[in-house]
Structure 1
């Protein structure tokens, strides 16, 4: 990779020309939030959106459509990068989140192309690796014009890696700007029909669960149904290919279960547990939850995005491991909308409490949504960084 067809290059219309690199679906979501703000600031700008994965490329084409050009990114070799930059001639190269590629940045600098890290984040786990090669990273970071980071902790870590403090800004998480747009009541109505929910039936959703967490969730569910026997459990594993493995686990525990895709085919839920075996449905599923547990957090895997459920005003429970989503946890902590649990026993106690005290669940759900709203506008701030870089006067 590194060369693009004449037809593609000639199809890039508008000025300034902005190349935004986002690896896959998650980064593309953040990129699109920033792009929407860029179009407001610079209606005539040309957007080039690159990805490295097939899913990311398909998602980018679907979201950007004819408003820009979607490409696969060149590999980080000097020749490939040099040819790509020479062919596309961007005025600015925008890297999303953790995309710090030495040859990209070096060649862009050599060619007089401005560079910026947007929606920047450096996790607790990754900082250790970066610091082991700090001289190399510091030499790479000097080529970046501005570091537009998500939160204070990310800003501190990028500074530890060698980024000049004067170039660092804190502007929130652009990805979360999209959450409130996806909370339409029609989505909730559709999910209620899909899961055959009637009369305010309580629902416990365990989202983005990892291996070993499902056993904990089933232990919790056994305790829940002693107090609230009509509760529906929905398990959405982080990796859908594990759905059949979880189904076996559920049946071994004596529960009935169905897959999300079963409901598509026969339209009738009869089981007490539903396993989500589809991609991209989780935020919609959260719409019908009474209480949510966000996975990847009772095991040392850094957690998952707790704000997807918070956007629906749901009580969100999560474990002690939230290293990869500290910004989201901090937003919840600031409003009092977060509910951290120590272990499975604590999760069961709190889940039962909120399922049996709907007024308390509603109150903390309001605080959770307030956390999402407090971040609103982050995409615009990141876009403004790019605008200022292109328009220094």
Structure 2
């Protein structure tokens, strides 16, 4: 253990002595949160009865819902290649955990990931005994990687990306990161820019590959017309209804988007406005604004109760994992975390459904996807709420133009298919070397 890793553990252990008791006292009141914290500390009382027994055992870490979807594409690609493995899938967030349990029911053991403390990590590895650790995107946790190497477990990053914003932070701790990255067996990165950044941070160049973005290659790329028709009935819309969907809204965007709704509602007769906050606890802020303005609204969970369809012009999406399908009924889509400096969201989830896509200037975390859309003409960047209104009004009043842009957006997705197979091939190449 080098001095920087020792200092990292010394600081982390000291902080845990202060923070963890308070967290435990708070979380123990909620059985679900208590179980999650127990697992995060490396204690698992049912590790000997995995859903999918056998070897090789692959531990895939996916932070939240988006990464779980990408992990599913990788697992499906492995299965298509007739590579059978026992899958242990971990998440960090509670929303990701719930989504993973639904999507991987009967196919994988789903757990919370351990915190990056030396003891917690060692307990987790001893309980589950994986042969390979696969981190989706770029989750660099020094103790995971060091303990995995010490236990003879191979490690790799899949669908790896490092934004320009992230690399500036990582470079401040490069002396810690470089020895950690030298222990990793393979880096399967999204783009050339991501590859350059991970090498700059300390990854051995000969272990780095470029294989595209799995999120452009989702398993549900083909339209499911039954899902679309069900959503149309639920939201009481048809092919001619003007539907604006704002997805993954974060921070101050709640206020901006409610002002956008005011403007659009005045200019677009019959507008249906679907607002999906990135974090469900932000729903109350949207409700407060709508109520103060006298805007009629409904939660998505209120639709379908006793057969009821939508009646309010504003619907707040308060479900997990449904946004991607809701994009299917949109006339125009706005992707959030982009009018505020939060790096953007995955614009290609809407492009799958041939929708014209608007987004703000902060797209640092999805720069490759933005460039791809703009190169083919399927995406439009707006600088603020005023320009968002102008662009949305134009597209809602000119549906033929909206459909043309949507086709270009779908073309962008199709031009980048195959990423899941390429990343899965990197996993397959390392499997014969396990054990």
Cα RMSD between the aligned structures? 2.5
Q: TM-score by structure 2 length? A: 0.82
Match of 1:32 in 2: 72
For each residue in 1:181-201, what CA deviation from the matched residue of structure 2 results, as whole angstroms up to 9, or x when unmatched?
Answer: 473111221111112124611
The whole-number CA distance in structure 2 between the counterparts of 1:338 and 1:47 is: 36
Partner of 2:375: 334
Unaligned runs of 5+ in 2: 1-40
Range that drifts further, 203-212 or 257-266: 257-266
Residue 328 of structure 1: how far off its partner (Å): 2.1
1:123 aligned partner: 163
In structure 2, the CA distance between the partners of 1:61 and 1:221, relative to structure 1 (3 Å rule), is closer
Deviation of residue 280 (structure 1)? Answer: 2.3
Alpha-carbon distance in 1 for matches of 2:285, 2:338: 20
Unaligned runs of 5+ in 1: none
The two structures have a TM-score, normalised by structure 1, of 0.90
- Structure-to-structure mapping, 1:71-150, within 5 angstroms: 71-150=111-190
Cα deviation, 1:241-286, whole Å, max 9, x if unaligned, reads: 2323312312433432222233233614332222222222212221
Contact 1:14/1:44 (8 A) holds in 2: no
Distance 1:344 1:73, change over 3 A: closer
Distance 2:175 2:396 in 1: 52
**Number of equivalent positions:** 392
The reply to whether residue 307 of structure 1 matches residue 348 of structure 2 is yes
Moved over 6 A (4+): none
Q: Which residue of 1 aligns with 2:22?
A: none
Deviations 1:67-90 (A, max 9, x none): 333333333333443444355443
**Residues 320 and 341 of structure 1 are in contact (CA less than 8 Å); yes or no, is this contact kept in structure 2?**
yes
1:355 alignment partner in structure 2: 396
Alignment partner of 2:247: what SS? strand
Aligned to 1:367: 408
C-alpha distance 248-172 of structure 1, shift in aligned 2 (>3 A)? same
Change (3 A) 1:42 1:135: farther
1:246 aligned to 270, 279, 286, which one? Answer: 286
1:31-59 deviation per Cα after TM superposition (whole angstroms, max 9, x unaligned): 12111112233433222223344443343
Partner of 2:252: 212
Q: CA separation of 1:87/1:259 partners in 2, compared to 1, >3 Å: closer, same or farther? A: closer
Give the Å deviation of 1:7.
Answer: 6.2
Q: 1:108 to 1:237 in 2, by over 3 A?
A: closer
Q: Deviations over 1:13-34 (max 9, x none)?
A: 3333322222333322221211
Determine helix, strand or coil for the equivalent of 1:8. Answer: coil
Question: Deviation digits for residues 301-360 of structure 1, max 9, x if unmatched?
Answer: 111121121111111100101112223212312322111112222211111111111111
Q: 1:376 aligns with which of 373, 394, 417?
A: 417
